A and B are shown apart, each in its own frame.
Chain A
Amino acid sequence: MAKQVLIVDDAAFMRMMIKNILVENGFEIVGEAENGKIAVEKYKDLEPDLVTMDITMPEMSGIEATKTILKSKPEAKIIMCSAMGQQAMVIDAIQAGAKDFIVKPFKPDRVLEAINKVLG
């Protein structure tokens, strides 16, 4: 069965990028969220196998969203999407329990490598 992924990013362009990469490689995109708050809600509803989480977003940052999700579901698999220069925040997220991270600009093989590893 195809693994279900929730994509979280405030930029529709970035969401599309990730979506294309994942769909092409047999993942099912069960939902998208443009900020942390929506992400937390959608996670509860959809219970996806994996979340790709942008860091800098309005309303609620990816870090906060990650922590919230993990608090209610510690085994949640979350991959952080980071830009260069955000290492402190990524470390923070990973400390909180995010499984891995990918760095923008996204390279398909990098993204898949990380996702497969976390899901594997």
Chain B
Amino acid sequence: MDNNSQYLQMFFDESAEYIQMLNENILVLEQEPNNKEIINSVFRAAHSLKGMAATMGFDKLTDLTHKIENVLDKVRNDELVINEEMIDYLFAGFDLITTLVEDIKTKGEEASDISNYVEELKTYLAGDHTAEKEEVITKLDENFMIDLDNNEKNEIVNKMKETDYVYQVNTVLNEDSMLKSVRGYMVIKKATELGHVVKSKPSKEKIEDEDFGNEISLILVTSMDENAIIDEIEDIIDVQLVIIKQIEMVKSTKEKDNKSNSPENSSSKSNSKVKSFDVAPTVRVDINKLDNLMNMVGELLINKTRLEGLKVKSDIYQDILQQLDRVTMELHHVVMQIRMVPIGGIFNRFPRMLRDLSKELNKQIDLIIEGADTELDRSIIDELADPLVHILRNAADHGIESPEARQKKDKDAIGKILLSAYQKGSEIIIEVEDDGGGIDPDLMAEIAIEKGIATPEEIQSMEKKEKLNFIFHPGFSTSKEVTDVSGRGVGMDVVKRVVESLDGQVFIESEMDVGTRFTISLPLTLAITQALMVKIDEEVFAIPLSAISETLTVNPQNIRQVSGQDVIVLRESTIPIIEASKQLNLDVSYRDYINDLEIPIVIVNTGDKQVGLIVDELMNQQEIVIKSLGNYLIDAEHISGATIIGDGNVALILDVRNIA
């Protein structure tokens, strides 16, 4: 295990992809049970997974995927019918696969027990006619394919008529069969009667000399269909099992080179419908390397800014600076592009989750996903999965009502949850909207009082929005009893925390009996951002541009007072103004600004309202590289990080989200 860690990583990556593919496709399959293409791609995914697991020596995983593959194979060959129960079994199996992979990742071995599941699956399959044959298939599958050389290929192509198919037929004889050579001979003879036998393994001579095990594989060209062939051959005494696989033979095989001629490449039927895309070659890169690259770009940017700060009066200097500026911008852009992945990567696991949930909760829920191709920085996406899971669970559990309740309200019995993502300026917006019962702000207020989060007096003056915002308060859960699905009291506050740690914001809107909408807004990327530099008490601070709605200078005469609070009226809306220095608890005398001739104000969006932040001086706009303050200063209020500015000094980055 030690020296294959490089394979291990690849194994984890790829198995995650395959598991995802399995889950997605099975969902589709549930809707379209006869979609052969989907069945085939599910089968291929399971098969590839098995191959990988076997190569890595993960026995349980191999065994499990093999069992599942067998089921899928039966589905593929129309021996099993897809129904809800089977879909459930398959999902359970995929979950177990995921667990095993997790085991390997965290514990280095396959700790979980699969025997129960395997037993269950066996029992389920026993209802059909296949259970005891399971073992045989296991043994057989490994050497299923017969290799064909070019002559044999040509022979097939020549013999083939329009209506013909090429099959690989594998026959297993009973262990205790007597005169096995004769049985084997009878199999070959029967096959010869059914069509043209191109090749057999073992050869006819070896079979007659009884120089073989229990299996005979042969390549058969015939116009018969698979089931008819199976029936005919299974009719022979002592034939325990017949497995058949169609091999796609293209007429043009002759012209093709050797490689494409082996059965694997000429592809079993399953591959025949794979669309070929023109895909640019890709490379898998460790995300850490990208982080490093981003850091380096950041360093470059800092030095560029410092260089600009030198203000050398020389044409060449200006020229170089411009070039440098362009190159670093481009570089930054490219690195960001590389780090961007479609948010669909996490969205696509939700249909499966919602399906499970709706079954568990006895509700009917449609999940509509929009904007899955919206791209976001990889590191943000990874963090986002859990909060979204939580919001969706809440929506399904608390939001959507039971079908009966919905009908009483004259709503469609099927609840809808809309999960959408889109880009808005330099932000990504993710919305989860349900058409459920909505949240009662007064109930929220009541609970808040009950839990000691707020006092009745405070509640009095609260608006609906503020009451709803209790949902983000730690230790707040409206669920009367703890269900398996949600309502453990740790939830929305965690969501809020995670989103804020990503420099994003989360809002809630809710209308009784109409529905609830959670909106998460996130910066496109974390590392580099545009910022406005301002001076507060002689110090330079950076305010991320994404939080700023506008800047202006105000004449003190235009300042009004509303219940003791200084406000300005801007385009008919009243905006409170506060001193940044005061909010930062800087040691300055307050309300000095009233004597200034002009007051520089930055209007920022904080939460869902706007506040005018009074600063000493508006400086310039520039790109800043966000550096974290480290663990010791993580709780610094209203400061989200630091950046290095042109003169080499450090400027703190203001976190204006909760500044007023």
Contact = CB atoms under 8 A, between A and B. Distances in A.
Interface stretch (B114-122, B178-186, B396-404, B547-555): B178-186
A87 B182 CA distance: 6
Nearest to A80: B182
A103 interface: yes
A45 to B, nearest CB: 30
Categorize the interface residue count of chain A. Answer: 10 to 19
B78 to A, nearest CB: 25
A100 B238 CA distance: 11
A88 B208 contact: yes
Interface in A66-90: 82, 84, 86-88, 90
Contacts of A103: 178-179
B235 A117 contact: yes
A22 interface: no
Interface in B627-641: none
A94 B185 contact: yes
Contacts of B237: 100, 110, 113-114, 117
Interface string B170-189: 00000000110110011001
Contacts of B178: 84, 103
Interface in A96-117: 100-101, 103, 110, 113-114, 117
Contacts, number: 34
A95 B189 contact: yes
A100 B186 CA distance: 8
Q: Is the interface of B mostly helix, strand, loop or mixed?
A: helix
Interface string B481-499: 0000000000000000000
Nearest to B179: A87
A91 B181 CA distance: 8
Interface in A35-92: 82, 84, 86-88, 90-91
Contacts of B181: 87, 91
A91 B182 contact: yes
Nearest to B178: A103
B210 interface: yes
A95 B179 CA distance: 15
B27 to A, nearest CB: 45
Contacts of B182: 82, 87, 90-91, 94, 101
Interface-central residue, B182, B189, B235, B237, by most chain A CB under 10 Å? B182
Contacts of B235: 117
A63 to B, nearest CB: 13
Contacts of A86: 179
A101 B177 CA distance: 12
- B contact residues, range: 10 to 19
Contacts of A87: 179, 181-182, 208, 210
Interface in B174-224: 178-179, 181-182, 185-186, 189, 208, 210
A91 B183 CA distance: 9
Given A87-B208, A88-B208, A117-B237, A101 B189 contact: no
The residue in A84, A94, A114 that gathers the most chain B C-beta atoms within 10 A of its C-beta is A94
Contacts of B208: 87-88, 91
A38 B189 CA distance: 29
Contacts of A95: 185, 189
B495 to A, nearest CB: 67
Contact of B186 (A82, A94, A110): A94
User: In the complex, which of the residues B178, B210, B235 has the most CB atoms of chain A within 10 Å of its own CB atom?
Assistant: B178
A84 B179 contact: yes
Interface in B255-282: none
Nearest to A107: B178
A94 B186 CA distance: 8
Contacts of B186: 94, 100
Contacts of A84: 178-179
Q: Among B178, B179, B237, find the residue whose CB has the most chain A CB atoms closer than 10 A.
A: B179
A101 B179 contact: yes
A99 B179 CA distance: 15
Interface in B143-188: 178-179, 181-182, 185-186
Nearest to B208: A91
A95 B189 CA distance: 8
Contacts of A113: 237
A101 B181 CA distance: 12
Given A113-B237, A114-B237, A117-B237, A90 B189 contact: no
A57 B115 CA distance: 56
Contacts of B189: 94-95
Nearest to B177: A103
A96 to B, nearest CB: 11
B192 to A, nearest CB: 11
A67 B334 CA distance: 82
Nearest to A90: B182
Contacts of B185: 91, 94-95
A114 to B, nearest CB: 6
Contacts of A117: 235, 237
A87 B210 CA distance: 9
B188 to A, nearest CB: 10
A113 B177 CA distance: 13
A103 B237 CA distance: 12
Contacts of A82: 179, 182
A103 B186 CA distance: 15
A94 B210 CA distance: 16
A101 B185 CA distance: 12
Contacts of A100: 186, 237
A29 B178 CA distance: 26
Contacts of A94: 182, 185-186, 189
Contacts of A91: 181-182, 185, 208
A100 to B, nearest CB: 6
A78 B179 CA distance: 17
Contacts of A101: 179, 182
A84 B210 CA distance: 12
A106 to B, nearest CB: 11
Contacts of A114: 237
B200 to A, nearest CB: 15
A119 B297 CA distance: 83
A101 B189 CA distance: 14
A114 B237 CA distance: 7
A92 B373 CA distance: 68
A101 B186 CA distance: 10
B607 to A, nearest CB: 82
Given A84-B179, A90-B182, 20 more contacts: A82-B182, A87-B182, A87-B208, A90-B179, A91-B181, A91-B182, A91-B185, A91-B208, A94-B182, A94-B185, A94-B186, A94-B189, A95-B185, A95-B189, A100-B237, A103-B178, A103-B179, A113-B237, A117-B235, A117-B237
Q: Give 4 nearest A-B pairs by CB, closest first.
A: A103-B178, A87-B181, A90-B182, A91-B185
12 contacts: A87-B182, A91-B181, A91-B185, A94-B182, A94-B185, A94-B189, A101-B179, A101-B182, A103-B178, A113-B237, A114-B237, A117-B235
Interface of B: 178-179, 181-182, 185-186, 189, 208, 210, 235, 237
